[in-house]
Amino acid sequence: MNNLAQLYRAQGKNAEAEQFYKRALAVGEKAFGPDHPGIAGDLNNLAELYRSQSRYAEAEPLYKRALGIREKSLRPGHLLIAISLENYAALLRETKRGKEAENLEARAKAIRAKHAEQNPPNYRMSACGYKRTF
């Protein structure tokens, strides 16, 4: 459902995208529980849609929840935590909360720097894991 939602979003059909993002979230929560790491991706996708439409009040709790899930369920320093931090920071910047955004961006930057230090340059993190690149 997320893929279909992303397709609709790419086509500018935001209402359809929103419905599929919400359905994906509902199905995921029912199947895996509300705190499963996969749910964080669904929350992030819906939040990104809302942020792109300047629907900040709807996006912010989704970003917070996604970040919380990832911080609780993934090892410290995981790249998906950095992504959540960066996405939430983007919302904070857009809503004129630069100082808060800076704190999140600094945390994300530290995670990315540590990851780059620990991993060879010809490997990159994808959403599904490590992928060899040349």
What CATH number matches the domain at 2-132, 3.40.50.300, 1.25.40.10, 1.10.1030.10, 1.10.20.140?
Answer: 1.25.40.10
The sign of the CA dihedral 110, 112, 117, 118 is positive
Instruction: Tell me the backbone φ, ψ of residue 11, rounded to 5 degrees.
Output: -85, 0
Question: Would you list the domain boundaries of the chain?
Answer: 2-132
Residue by residue, pLDDT tens for the chain (134 residues) are: 889 999 999 999 999 999 999 999 999 999 999 999 999 999 999 999 999 999 999 999 999 999 999 999 999 999 999 999 999 999 999 999 999 999 999 999 999 999 888 776 665 555 555 454 44
Specify the pTM. Answer: 0.86
Question: What's at 15, amino acid-wise?
Answer: A
Angle between helix 79-94 and 98-118 (nearest 10) = 160
Output the CA torsion 18→19→23→24 (10° steps).
-40
